[in-house]
């Protein structure tokens, strides 16, 4: 059986673990001659939206998006330097939903996503974006756990 991986979707959250996720994706992309789509999803947490009198400067979302584009471009440049074809996509919305939608839109053959390993009560209350993506993704998902000593 031959597994074709033409498109790899790589959601990045800009945590210290993100370079490890990009590394895994690059390795697989080089091995399978795949195209890589880097994705960052941003959203305003519900808790903040519910704060009465919460103020957001008029250019808040513009700045958030611009910073996300810059962050993805840094990762993209590193992958392009390895000879990979890379697209960077920044979208607003709940991360798990955006990842699922983008995987469909891009016809992704694989999603490579990091997990920070939430445990206990935090996991019960917050869940995990990676876990939700694994459950609902339209394609296989490779989760990358932080190396020992990482958070």
Q: Encoding tokens for residue 9?
A: 């979707």
Nearest residue to 128 via CA among 139, 138, 140, 143: 143
Strand pairing class (110-114; 86-92): unpaired
Which class for 67: exposed (0-12), middle (13-18), buried (19 or more C-beta within 10 A)?
A: middle
Q: Per-residue pLDDT tens for 48-82?
A: 555 555 666 778 778 888 999 999 999 999 999 99
Is residue 14 one of the residues assigned to a domain? yes
In the DSSP assignment, the letter for residue 119 is: -
Domain for residue 74, yes or no? yes
pLDDT at 124 > cutoff 90: no
Domain at 68, CATH number = 3.40.50.620
Quote the domain boundaries for residue 98: 9-144
19-55: per-residue pLDDT in tens?
999 999 999 999 999 999 999 998 865 555 555 556 6
Q: What is the pLDDT of residues 86-122, one digit of tens each?
A: 999 999 999 999 999 999 999 999 999 998 755 555 4
Domain assignment present for 4: no
Helix intervals (H) in the chain: 18-32, 46-49, 60-80, 95-106, 120-126, 129-136
């Amino acid at each position: 059986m031959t597994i074709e991986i033409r498109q790899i979707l790589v959601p990045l959250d800009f945590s210290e673990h993100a370079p490890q996720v990009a590394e895994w994706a690059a390795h697989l992309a080089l091995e399978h001659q795949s195209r890589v789509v880097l994705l960052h999803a941003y959203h305003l947490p519900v808790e903040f939206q519910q704060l009465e009198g919460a103020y957001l400067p008029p250019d808040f979302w513009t700045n958030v998006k611009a910073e996300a584009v810059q962050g993805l471009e840094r990762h993209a440049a590193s992958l392009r330097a390895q000879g990979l074809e890379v697209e960077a996509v920044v979208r607003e919305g709940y991360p798990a939903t955006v990842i699922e939608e983008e995987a469909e839109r891009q016809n992704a053959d694989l999603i490579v996503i990091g997990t920070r390993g939430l445990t206990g009560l935090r996991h019960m209350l917050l869940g995990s974006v990676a876990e939700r993506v694994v459950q609902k993704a339209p394609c296989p998902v490779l989760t990358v756990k932080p190396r020992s000593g990482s958070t």
